[in-house]
Amino acid sequence: MKLKIAIQKSGRLNEDSLNILKDCGISIDNGKDQLKASARNFPMEVFYLRNGDIPQYLRDGVVDVAIIGENVLVEKGEDLRIAEKLGFSKCRVSLAVPKSTKYKSIEDLQGKRIATSYPNTVESYLNKKGIKAELHIISGSVEIAPNIGLADAICDIVSSGSTLFKNNLKEVEKILTSEAVLAVSPKIGSEEEEVLAQLQFRIRAVLSARL
Ligand code: PRP
Ligand code: MG
């Protein structure tokens, strides 16, 4: 029996995810080019998956746990349990508008076009505020949308803020803050739960040593 863990195949979480496993004393054979790798000294199998697919894999029990951004869980996996916050890949999901746009409040987005990769997150935020907007769902390079006339505003991840800056946008509403977390499948078995407990024990030691 092995604990099946999903991590991001490529992107901002990939390296830090592998690093935390390494700091936990878990060595993983090669990786990345293969979609699956085994740990040498811990009962664990690593699956390299696309971020957005991970919530469904957890739900289906294809993997037992995953290292994933909270922002992805808010968007696609609010039903999933978080076992541990991991303290890296901190970011926020925010609304932004062109610097030249006069912006006073969320009311200014009434009836406007918003480009985003996080439609559920934006929708529920706007609903709470009583705002109706037209969402344009795009999967990447969202910040370009206002410049090419596709949208009046965007909603995307902000980390350093440099993508907003480069595209002449200003952050106007912070919808949520996020960091990497360890999320758990509702279908995890009892033996796997025991391995998960060992993993969490090591993670806590690593995180407290990092402080
Ligand atoms: C991500 C995200 C933002 C940017 C935020 O994009 O979608 O655009 O990083 O980071 P920053 O505030 O430090 O600039 P990424 O570069 O991963 O590409 P993508 O949007 O095409 O997926
Ligand atoms: Mg981007």
- Residue 106 C-beta-side C-alpha neighbours within 13 Å: 17
CA–CA separation, 87 and 164 (whole Å): 23
Pairing of strands 153-158, 113-116: parallel
Judged against a pLDDT cut of 70, whether residue 197 lies above it is answered with: yes
Ligand 1 pocket test target in 163, 165, 169 with most atoms within 8 Å of CB: 163
Distance 174 CA to ligand 2 centre (A): 16
Between helices 12-23 and 190-210, what is the axis angle to 10°? 90
Would you state the structure tokens that stand for residue 59, as one six-digit string? Answer: 């739900």
Residue with tokens 């092995």: 2
ipTM of the complex: 0.96
Question: What pLDDT score does 34 carry?
Answer: 81
CA–CA separation, 128 and 36 (whole Å): 41
Ligand 1: nearest atom to the Cα of 12: 17
| CATH class, range 91-178 | alpha beta
Question: What pLDDT score does 12 carry?
Answer: 87
- Does 70 sit in the ligand 1 pocket, CB within 6 Å? no
Task: Tell me the ligand closest to 159's alpha carbon.
Answer: 1
Judged against a pLDDT cut of 70, whether residue 31 lies above it is answered with: no
pLDDT digits (tens, 9 = 90+) for 99-144: 999 999 999 999 999 999 999 999 999 999 999 999 999 999 999 9
- 3-89+180-210: CATH superfamily: Periplasmic binding protein-like II (3.40.190.10)
Question: What pLDDT score does 32 carry?
Answer: 62
Residues forming a β-bridge with 97: 170
Q: Which candidate, 169, 160, 121, places its Cα nearest to that of 142?
A: 169
The alpha carbon torsion through 195, 198, 203, 206 (nearest 10 deg) reads -140
pLDDT digits (tens, 9 = 90+) for 45-72: 999 999 999 999 999 999 999 999 999 9
In the chain, CATH 3.40.190.10 covers 3-89+180-210, 91-178
User: Checking phi first, is residue 190 left (phi over 0); if not, alpha (psi -120 to 50) or beta?
Assistant: alpha
pLDDT digits (tens, 9 = 90+) for 139-190: 999 999 999 999 999 999 999 999 999 999 999 999 999 999 999 999 999 9
How many Cβ atoms from other residues are within 10 Å of residue 162's Cβ?
9
